[in-house]
Structure 1
Amino acid sequence: MTFPQLSTAFEQRGPRRRRAAVVAALGFTPLALTGLAAGPAAAHGSMTDPVSRVSACYAEGPESPKSAACKAAVAVSGAQAFYDWNAVNMANAAGRSKEIIPDGRLCSGGNDKYKGLDLARADWPATKLSAGSHTFHYKGTAPHKGSFALYITKVGYDPSKPLKWSDLEATPFAEVTDPPMRGGDYVFEGKIPARSGRHLIYSIWQRSDSPEAFYTCSDVVFGKDSGTAGAPAPTASAPTEQEIADGAAKSTVQHHHGDATTGTRPSAAPVAGADAAGNNPQADGAAATPVGSTGTPGTQNLAETGGDSSTRYLALAGAGAIAIGAAALFATLRRKAVAGGRHGR
């Protein structure tokens, strides 16, 4: 119903019914505010230590990346995919990532939008690592309950070939459920197995409050990186908080509570030899230890769902529009009531 139609309908009512209707209209505003507060928010997260491919390329700048690998990835996926760096996901994974994501599509999570991340190259920007204990950081732009499972490539891994499930160790070397957040990051400890040369750490973040899962590929180097043609790959850098804030306006990703809207099914079925035994990403393995706990300064409990600062501005803008409309309606009806009272004298 349009505003003029609503006004006419109110005028056709008696004075008592008009007053009740005005109260009802004004009383709707808090309900509208509640609905808007539960609206969409920016999503969702990615590994930043060791930095993921998508995070590293976003940090370089989607419009003009610096490294050869990121330039190639942007040429394949387009710049927008990297502004949406925190949404490499599968909406309906439900713990079946190994079944539904084909070999060669692991880094994109089977999501066509991010297929540039699947490019088989030995010059992706990489993080230098050493075997042993490591503190992992996973930027969470929209927190969710769930579990993280981290896998590492096997000895003999060839980065110049498409990544397959069989290239990863069968069980994760680190796992953690509902880790605390600190400074906007999920932070937890894990023990990295011994390796040499270039390898890859693959993460699966499986939500427990939804079938949605998120994926990252982090290129890492143990010792010396021979690189391509003898030239080592650039060191990967994670996006800064300012870069994340600046890029938020260009992100097209939206998150709806209880419903993942950004994932797509892979266009190809899993290839022969892929793990179709229903192996759960949360399989037995060396457990990771959350850093911090409830009540520890600088930590934050994991929320069921979440958003960033843009959420409250969206809610306030919508609330403002409703409040203005209600005020205008109230003023119009008040003028009509006053005028009617004068004519009736």
Structure 2
Amino acid sequence: MTIRRKLLSAAAGVALAPFVFALLPAGTAMAHGYVSSPASRQAQCATGAVPCGDIQYEPQSVEGPKGLTSCSGGNSRFSELDDDSKGWQVHPVSGSVEFTWTITANHSTSTWEYFAGGQQIASFDDGGAQPPSTVTHNVDVSGLSGEQKILAVWNIADTSNAFYACIDVNVGG
């Protein structure tokens, strides 16, 4: 094969590559999201309010198997989220809190759950719907008082995983 033919073959391959990839079946979209308001621990890392490791670059990626109770979602790369002594900003709240999730890649949702002290304080069933780019839940915290760590969980409908976020609040403070 001459050099000219090799160059033409290579150029043809480069030109056709986008069309070949466009015809391939699309993969399943990966869900990603985090609580942006009040600022979750990973949101504080992303803004630099608290110095953190890798999570500062991808606050939306705290994903792990459903049923975990850790801020890191069991992901060792984000273990600093489990460190309660790290200097997290504590948000003063009253009887209810509006938690807003920022969704960077939506995915079918089964439920959104909120926990304080290991007890579920709220649950919202989405029945498999795909969320928009932001989701807000109004959660009643009137049964709590003082400083609390709220664990927010986004359970994905068609995988065994969930996304985790911890938000530090001071109820009545």
Give TM-score scaled by structure 1 length. 0.41
Match of 1:82 among 39, 52, 56: 56
Q: Does 1:124 align with 2:88?
A: yes
Question: 1:1-345 maps to which residues of 2 (within 5 A)?
Answer: 4=6, 7=9, 30-35=19-24, 38=26, 44-59=32-47, 61=48, 65=49, 70-71=50-51, 74=52, 78=53, 80-90=54-64, 93=65, 95=66, 97-98=67-68, 106-121=70-85, 123-132=87-96, 134-146=97-109, 147-153=111-117, 168-169=118-119, 171-177=120-126, 178=129, 180-181=131-132, 184-224=133-173
* Structure 1 position 136, deviation (Å): 2.4
- Residues 173 and 192 in structure 1, CA contact (< 8 A), matched pair in contact too: no
Q: Are residues 120 and 27 of structure 1, via their aligned partners in 2, closer, same or farther at CA, if it must alter by over 3 Å?
A: closer
- Residues 33 and 60 in structure 2, CA contact (< 8 A), matched pair in contact too: yes
Higher RCO, 1 vs 2 (CA within 8 Å, ≥6 residues apart): 1
**Number of equivalent positions:** 164
Q: Which amino acid aligns with 2:146?
A: G
- Residues 106 and 130 in structure 2, CA contact (< 8 A), matched pair in contact too: no
Q: Are residues 122 and 83 of structure 1, via their aligned partners in 2, closer, same or farther at CA, if it must alter by over 3 Å?
A: closer
Q: Which amino acid aligns with 1:48?
A: S
Aligned with 2:72: secondary structure? coil
Percent of pairs with identical residues? 26
Greater percentage in helix: 1
* Structure 1 position 135, deviation (Å): 3.0
Q: Are residues 148 and 179 of structure 1, via their aligned partners in 2, closer, same or farther at CA, if it must alter by over 3 Å?
A: farther
In 2: Cα distance, 1:116 partner to 1:50 partner: 19
Q: Which amino acid aligns with 1:110?
A: G
- Residues 179 and 186 in structure 1, CA contact (< 8 A), matched pair in contact too: no
In 2: Cα distance, 1:179 partner to 1:135 partner: 20
Aligned with 1:173: secondary structure? strand
- Residues 150 and 175 in structure 1, CA contact (< 8 A), matched pair in contact too: no
Unpaired runs of 5+ residues, structure 1, are: 8-21, 154-167, 225-345
RMSD, matched Cα: 3.3
- Residues 30 and 106 in structure 2, CA contact (< 8 A), matched pair in contact too: no
- Greater shift in the superposed pair: 172-181 or 136-145: 172-181
Tell me what 1:231 maps to. Answer: none
In 2: Cα distance, 1:114 partner to 1:49 partner: 20
Q: Are residues 4 and 143 of structure 1, via their aligned partners in 2, closer, same or farther at CA, if it must alter by over 3 Å?
A: same
Q: Are residues 218 and 87 of structure 1, via their aligned partners in 2, closer, same or farther at CA, if it must alter by over 3 Å?
A: same
- Residues 176 and 188 in structure 1, CA contact (< 8 A), matched pair in contact too: no
* Structure 1 position 212, deviation (Å): 2.0
Greater percentage in strand: 2
Q: Are residues 40 and 144 of structure 1, via their aligned partners in 2, closer, same or farther at CA, if it must alter by over 3 Å?
A: closer
Tell me what 1:313 maps to. Answer: none
Q: Are residues 122 and 116 of structure 1, via their aligned partners in 2, closer, same or farther at CA, if it must alter by over 3 Å?
A: closer
User: Which has more radius of gyration?
Assistant: 1
